[in-house]
Amino acid sequence: MTRTLTAIAVLCLTCPAIAAQQNSRKKVERTFNRFIVAFNNLDWDTFRSALADDVTLFNPDIPEAPNLGRLDGRQRVEESFKAVFAASRRQSNGPPYLHIVPKNVRVQMLGDSAIVTFEFDRDGNSFGRRTFVFHRGVHGWKIAHIHASNVVRH
């Protein structure tokens, strides 16, 4: 009987925590999906609204990336993406201008932070790998870091 009561007590205490984590995961997934749609459509206002003020970025090795070192802060990250947006508008009719279709998406919840990793097919027999670190703050889930790399298939 004591074990049963203990099990019930544990369930009562952990169920709200599990539900809260599932709710947070869904919010991160929605924020991530909204960001990808905005990026594909080059919707600047929606795109930039997903970024934290102290966001950092490692660009992939692409011609549109003006800097391959780590970029710190909203201003530098936005300047980099503005160059990517401008080049993408010149290279394609749209929207959508880009065709990023995330595959193998994984969301790892870490309290008030989340890591989202995914891959996507690129032209030229290559694929992209991305890691987004989200953090929950006063204004909801924001992207605190983006790490981007591209790999050529052999």
pLDDT of residue 11: 54
pLDDT of residue 147: 96
- Specify the long-range contacts of residues 111-114, CB closer than 8 Å, at least 24 apart: 112/136, 112/137, 113/144, 114/24, 114/25, 114/28, 114/141
Q: What b/e readout covers 120-150, taking b as 16+ CB neighbours within 10 angstroms?
A: bebeeeeebebebbbbbeeeebbbbbbbbee
Q: Give the closest residue to 104 by CA, choosing from 124, 128, 125.
A: 128
Please list the pLDDT of the chain residue by residue as tens digits (154 residues).
777 766 665 556 655 556 665 788 999 999 999 999 999 999 999 999 999 999 999 988 776 777 778 999 999 999 999 999 999 999 988 899 999 999 999 999 999 999 999 999 998 889 999 999 999 999 999 999 999 999 988 8
When computed from its CA atoms, the radius of gyration of the chain, rounded to whole angstroms, is 19
CATH of 2-152, one of 2.30.110.10, 3.10.450.50, 3.90.180.10, 3.10.105.10: 3.10.450.50
> What distance in Å separates the CA atoms of residue 96 and residue 82, rounded to the nearest whole number?
16
Q: pTM here? A: 0.83
